Amino acid sequence: MDKPVDIEKTLGYQIHQLAFNMKGMLKAVFKQTGYEITPEAYFLLNLIPESGIEQGALVKKTGKDKAAITRLLDWLSGKNWIIRRVVPDNKRKAIIKISPQGKEVLVALNKALSNISQPMMKGISKNEHMVLMNAIKQLDDNLLRIVEKING
């Protein structure tokens, strides 16, 4: 008979806990700054370059479905933090840009979060940080390939 897995010692559980704690920290910092924003909306806003980006590219970058991205963009647009422009030649496509108000929000939130990065990385050397980032990227790439294979 197989020995039961101690879930708390698995990589998946550790990553899940880290993500859960990271989300909790983000929510606390956002609340402290006075901005009403979710971690998902914050990361999406950060993915929009100065030059703008097509909505479909955000779907690919995030791995979220089109409906979820549309809901987040609708919410960001309602806050006047983004500007959505329909592509004249193709009415089904939209270019997303950060508004001046959105830039102000990002600057404030990124500044508040910069105070968290250093204490969070306490005890982790620059080399360990680089190894960790490479390992996380490799894990993500591997998982994407596995999901593609499962989905056919």
Structure tokens at 32: 């402290």
pTM, entire model = 0.85
Same domain, 114 and 131: no
**Which residue segment(s) compose the domain that 56 sits in?**
7-120
CA distance linking residue 105 with residue 29, whole number of Å: 13
- Residue 14: inside a domain: yes
Find the mean pLDDT for residues 106-130: 94
* Residue range 7-39, pLDDT digits in tens: 999 999 999 999 999 999 999 999 999 999 999
Query: Distance from first CA to last CA of the chain, Å, rounded?
Result: 33
Is the model's pLDDT at 1 over the cut of 80? no
Same domain, 20 and 88: yes
* Residue range 47-103, pLDDT digits in tens: 999 899 999 999 999 989 999 999 999 999 999 999 999 888 887 888 999 999 999
What total of structural domains would you count in the chain? Answer: 2
Same domain, 114 and 129: no
Structure tokens at 29: 């910092």
